Amino acid sequence: MDVFEGKSWISGQGLVNTCIGIDEGKITAVKKILKGDNHTKFEGIILPSAFDMHVHFRDPGYPHKEDWKTGSECAAAGGVTAVVDMPNTNPFTSDLETFNDKVSTASSKSVVDFGVGVNVEKDLTEQTWFDTIPAAFWKLYPYGISSAEYFSYAKEVLDKTSKPLVIHGEHPDHMHNEPLNELSDHTQNRLIAEPECLASMPSSPYLHVAHLSTLEGLNRMPKLASSEVCPHHLLLNLDNCHSLDCKVDPPLRTKKDNSGLYDAFREGKIPILSSDHAPHTIDEKRSDNPPSGLPGVETMIPLMLNEVSEGRLELSRLVNAMSEAPAERLGLDRGRISEGMPADLIMIDMKNSKPIDLDKLHSKSNWTPFEDWPAIFPSQVYRRGELIAESGEIRQEGGGQNLF
Ligand code: DOR
Ligand code: ZN
């Protein structure tokens, strides 16, 4: 048995001086005193690592933007030991074959554990594999379809599913494409797309709204549904971010939206933190028709730990939003430091806040909207008891497993 000793986050108790016993990747004991074969004492704090249920690792299809190796290494260095990958790869993950291919690629290349989302297309619920495919969730996009199709697909899946339907909640009739001269033009193009969409969505406990971005959208959340918010919709707005590089769907909004969403996040009304890691190269971003999306899986937890250290967020809320709540939402028993859980842990020195250095990040996209922002990166990251990252360096090749 390996033993980690230090101030550890125990749900319901907070930070407690304790020993964590680990055998074959699982936490086998949490006790004041434990004797093991290897005993390591940590000076900082020990938290459950994060589970990011919204990333785009671009594999298959766009290896120049990211792939399972580089995307998962970003995750690992940023304290995220499990992710769910979205289906808008090439080909789309929309049937058993594309699903199995992605799981097999991820199994050979990902250093973090993972799940795979399946795209919602016509007649999804009639497929022979609808009830059996081990997908993390279904994902519905509003692109390239009419609003009638969008809402009827949502209803059809919600009526028949036994796993979450994650929606990109922007109304197809309100997503305009007027040319962009500045970042705020993109916001104008989508001004009411989110609240209009959410106001028309049926209420269901299976519904999960991805990347909430507006106060108005929050107010129109369908009853019984859950939601997530990303660091860029909490921290960036049209006043502190002007670059067209920051074009993202849904768009950046106002300070008022940031603070309304942040309050709801603090209260747990928005339960889950996700990154929507959506890398594109800087050349693509600077082209005549820039794609939407920001990289973020590596900076999400470091930025939010800095928020905790500056007193704007409770540590209990961050741990819940990054580890416990996403696991629970997807029906997985993990994300806590207690007996029987996978030993997915991050070690943090809360005093070690440093400006984000682009050269130290692992994404192929090679840019971040958060350059020089203060952030607290984990000193060590353990996936099922194995050290996978240390001070930003990756310590393992692959080894990630499908969680579903
Ligand atoms: O900005 C975005 N980029 N929003 C999305 O929903 C998709 C993503 C992407 O895949 O690039
Ligand atoms: Zn996304």
Mean per-residue pLDDT over the chain, rounded: 98
Task: Specify whether 25 is located in the same domain as 114.
Answer: no
Mean per-residue pLDDT for 278-298?
A: 97
Q: Mean pLDDT over residues 233-252, rounded?
A: 98
Which residue CA neighbors atom 10 of ligand 1 most closely?
A: 278
The single residue listed with the structure tokens 């006790």 is: 31
Q: Which atom of ligand 1 is nearest to the CA of 56?
A: 10
Give the distance (Å) from ligand 2 centre to CA of residue 85.
9
Q: Tell whether ligand 1 has an atom less than 6 A from the beta carbon of residue 56.
A: yes
Beta bridge partners of 31: 19
Domain identity same for 219 and 262: yes
Pair 160, 302 in one domain: yes
**What's the N-to-C CA distance of the chain in angstroms?**
27
> Are 400 and 114 in contact, with CB atoms under 8 Å apart?
yes
User: Which residue type does 119 have?
Assistant: N
The ligand placed nearest to the CA atom of residue 292 is 1
Return all residues near 308 (Cβ < 8 A) that are at least 6 apart.
314, 315, 318, 350
pLDDT of residue 62: 98
Q: Are residues 208 and 224 in contact, defined by beta-carbon separation less than 8 angstroms?
A: no
pLDDT of residue 220: 98
Instruction: Please indicate, yes or no, whether residues 115 and 186 belong to a single structural domain of this protein.
Output: yes
Q: Which residue has the tokens 């692109």?
A: 143
For ion ligand 2, residues whose CB falls within 5 Å:
276
* DSSP H or E run through 80: strand 80-85
Assign 74 to helix, strand or coil: helix
Return the best residue to mutate from 276, 285, 289, 297 for the ligand 1 pocket (most ligand atoms within 8 A of CB): 276
Q: How many domains does the chain have?
A: 2
d(CA 97, CA 108): 17
* Residue 183 and residue 114 in one domain: yes
Residue 387 Cα, ligand 1 centroid: separation in angstroms?
A: 31
The DSSP code for 277 is B
Residue 36: which domain range? 2-46+340-393
The arithmetic mean of pLDDT across residues 215-232, rounded, is 98
pLDDT tens profile 150-163: 999 999 999 999 99
Among the residues of 127-226, which ranges form H helices? 147-160, 183-189, 193-200, 215-219
Pairing of strands 272-273, 14-23: unpaired
DSSP at 222 = P
Q: CATH code at 265?
A: 3.20.20.140
Give the span between the Cα atoms of 265 and 321, in whole angstroms: 8
Counting atoms of ligand 1 from 1, which one is nearest the CA of 247? 1
Q: What is the DSSP string of 112-136?
A: SEEEEEEE--TTGGGSTTTTT---S
Q: E-assigned strands of 274-401?
A: 345-348, 354-355, 374-375, 380-383, 386-390, 393-394
State the pLDDT confidence band at 314, using cuts at 50, 70 and 90.
very high
Give the residue numbers marked as catalytic: 276
Co-location of 290 and 375 in the same domain? no
Q: Is there a contact between 395 and 380 (Cβ–Cβ < 8 Å)?
A: no
347, 290: one domain: no
Cα 247 to ligand 2 centroid, rounded to whole Å: 13
What is the residue with the minimal CA distance to atom 5 of ligand 1?
Answer: 249
- Residue having the nearest C-alpha atom to atom 3 of ligand 1: 293
Last residue in a domain, options 298, 329, 360 = 329
pLDDT tens-digit series, residues 39-68 = 999 999 999 999 999 999 999 999 999 999
